[in-house]
Amino acid sequence: MLLERQFRPVIGEWIYEIPAGTIEEGEEPVETARRELVEETGYEPARLTHLLTIYPSPGTSTERIHVFLAEDLRYRGARLEEDEAIETLWVPLSEALEMIRRGDIRDAKTIVALLYYSALHRGS
């Protein structure tokens, strides 16, 4: 699994996350996923498969998060924005799941994506 260790000023902490970003005007979610993956990690996917769409906080927000599986990655070079502090790391799925269990991964979208992939998508 390709994870990011990213400093989030709002909480004042470094946290582990899957690559993510905001959909720009006129952009489809799959285009956002591809763009953000390249910008933040430098990896370009040959294939993106939509896994699920979630509402992280439906009682207070209309925000939707679209989760994609990126496969056959090729390194092209990251293009971080000026205010981004991101380190990338590769970990086996088993280690990512252990990071959730230990509380090292606390980002909700990342937890949902990894557990979903592990329980429902892997091998399908």
The answer to whether residue 82 is catalytic is yes
- Phi and psi angles of residue 42, each rounded to the nearest 5 degrees, phi first: 90, -5
- Phi and psi angles of residue 97, each rounded to the nearest 5 degrees, phi first: -65, -40
Q: 45 and 76 in contact (C-beta within 8 Å)?
A: no
Give the C-alpha distances (Å, rounded to integers) separating 67 from 1, 10, 82. Answer: 14, 23, 25
Among residues 82, 84, 87, 98, the one annotated as catalytic is 82
* HSE value, Cβ hemisphere, 13 Å, CA-based, for 120: 8
Output the CA angle 76-81-85, nearest 5 degrees: 95
User: Which residues are the active-site residues?
Assistant: 82
